[in-house]
Structure 1
Amino acid sequence: METQMTGGCQCGRVRYSVTVRDDEAYLCHCRMCQRATGGVSIAFKNVARTDVRWEREPERYPSSPIARRGFCYQCGTPLTYEAHGHDRLDLTIGSFDDPGGFVPTEHSGCESWHRAWLDTSHLPASRTEENPSLVKRWMDKVGRLPD
């Protein structure tokens, strides 16, 4: 599999295209990723730096002595994890325009994972359009539900 995919931040200011060579992705549970995203884990796709083309580069901050992270300063979307001196980087799965084809193949940083969050398929589920107060707020403000 080799395909061109696109993605970007929530507000659309930062955009990229990337050559993706397989469907493998992974979940990182380390405390740095938890703090950087506010989540219990983050899903990443590892790609060659040379396979990524930015329409507009993200802003980056030094998240540790060994890496930096790319994000959009306008909306705050986390976009990358970039280890110093490495020829590859990680793109956040959620930033892809069509992330549905990726398959998680491993866990990283499992010393910090929260097992109760790994399989939540047994919990009740609802769709956005099934929440009347949320639908009303969206319709009143922009006339449609978000993508």
Structure 2
Amino acid sequence: MSHESQQQIHEGGCACGAVRFRAVGAPIRVGMCHCMTCRRVHGSAFGSYAIFRRDAVAFTGSTREWQSSEQGRRHFCPACGSVAFMMYADRDEIDVPLGAFDETGLFEPAYELWCIRKEPWLPRGVRPEYDEERTR
């Protein structure tokens, strides 16, 4: 049995099903982001992501891309507009939105970013919070 076949496979996709993904193994980390871009992209108070190595996630279907920050590139389904994933030019990582997975409850965020933008009605102190980006 190969090493890959022993690892869990998590699948998901966009709202209309035109873009699908398969993530192998556990994410590097899982976090929540309250930055204005994540808020606007998700149409919600925050975005939640499972961050994997790029080679651990494979996509089918075509996406469109836009530059959301100096290093960040967000990919989305051109048919329904759902966020498919985010990559950074300077990191070997891919951020997959938790809401895009077929199963719920797979991963729990371990930290929160951009808490200077966090809604006051959200609970504080549940997990480590960073005013802006997380320190490495």
In the superposition, the TM-score normalised over structure 2's length comes to 0.79
**1:19 equivalenced with 2:14 (yes/no):** no
SS in structure 1 at match of 2:40: helix
1:18-97 pair list within 5 angstroms: 18-21=23-26, 25-97=30-102
Q: 1:22 to 1:92 in 2, by over 3 A?
A: closer
Of the candidates 2, 8, 13, which is equivalent to residue 8 of structure 1?
A: 13
**Correspondence for 2:129:** none
Determine if contact 2:31/2:111 at 8 Å carries over to the other structure. yes
Deviates more, 1:42-51 or 1:32-41: 32-41
Determine if contact 1:46/1:91 at 8 Å carries over to the other structure. yes
Q: Deviations over 1:22-42 (max 9, x none)?
A: 595211001121122221101
Q: Which amino acid is the alignment partner of residue 31 of structure 1?
A: M
More helix by share: 1
Q: 1:118 to 1:82 in 2, by over 3 A?
A: farther
Q: 1:31 to 1:61 in 2, by over 3 A?
A: same
Q: Distance in 1 between matches of 2:79 and 2:58?
A: 20
Q: Distance in 2 between matches of 1:110 and 1:17?
A: 30
Q: Deviations over 1:97-130 (max 9, x none)?
A: 11322112110111111130348xxxxxxxxxxx
* RMSD after superposition: 2.0
Q: Distance in 2 between matches of 1:3 and 1:24?
A: 16
Give the count of matched residue pairs.
Answer: 119
**1:112 equivalenced with 2:123 (yes/no):** no
Deviation at 1:79, TM superposition (A): 1.8
Deviation at 1:54, TM superposition (A): 1.1
SS in structure 1 at match of 2:105: helix
Moved over 6 A (4+): none
Q: Distance in 1 between matches of 2:51 and 2:9?
A: 14
Identity rate, percent: 27
**Correspondence for 1:98:** 103
